[in-house]
């Protein structure tokens, strides 16, 4: 059994950050304290993980979000810069994506539409009671 090859996006993210800065590669390499060939290797994707020092320099020099740089679940574009507001926006978008995936999965289930129509026709108190009941059943099934 072969393991699924995961794509690392580090090089593409560094390239996107540098492209947005508008600097030439030699200037970027100097700022990051890398040789031009070292930076070229990173940008071309030959380096899967970078040293802690390079990550910190990217964060300092270009205000790149460290979480964005190391997490391959975050897409390359848009580039995320370090600010608490950006982090919150990404987390909200991730939650929305998860909800969209769940809804798409549920829509394929037989009888889901009829069940939802019935649920929505109930008064809000009954809806909350049913939600509580479903959570309790789900928690007991997980144990």
Residue pLDDT, tens place only, 86-106: 556 656 666 777 777 777 777
pTM of the full structure: 0.52
- Write the CB contacts of 35 (distance below 8 Å, at least 6 apart in sequence): 29
Measured torsion, CA atoms of residues 31, 36, 40, 41, in degrees rounded to the nearest 10? -100
Contact 12, 50 (CB under 8 A): no
Tell me what the mean pLDDT of segment 19-25 comes to. Answer: 84
- Write the CB contacts of 41 (distance below 8 Å, at least 6 apart in sequence): 47
Q: Does the pLDDT value for residue 24 go beyond 80?
A: yes
| Residue in 90, 82, 89 with CA at minimum distance from that of residue 65 | 82
């Amino acid at each position: 059994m072969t393991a699924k090859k995961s794509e690392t996006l580090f090089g593409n993210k560094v390239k996107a950050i540098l492209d947005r800065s508008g600097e030439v590669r030699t200037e970027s390499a100097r700022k990051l304290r890398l040789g031009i060939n070292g930076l070229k290797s990173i940008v071309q994707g030959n380096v899967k993980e970078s040293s802690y020092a390079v990550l910190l320099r990217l964060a300092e020099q270009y205000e790149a979000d460290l979480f964005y740089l190391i997490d391959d679940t975050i897409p390359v574009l848009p580039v995320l810069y370090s600010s608490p507001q950006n982090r919150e926006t990404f987390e909200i978008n991730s939650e929305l994506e998860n909800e969209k995936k769940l809804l798409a999965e549920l829509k394929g289930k037989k009888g889901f539409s009829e069940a939802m129509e019935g649920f929505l026709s109930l008064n809000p108190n009954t809806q909350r009671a049913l939600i509580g009941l479903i959570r309790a059943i789900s928690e007991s099934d997980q144990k």
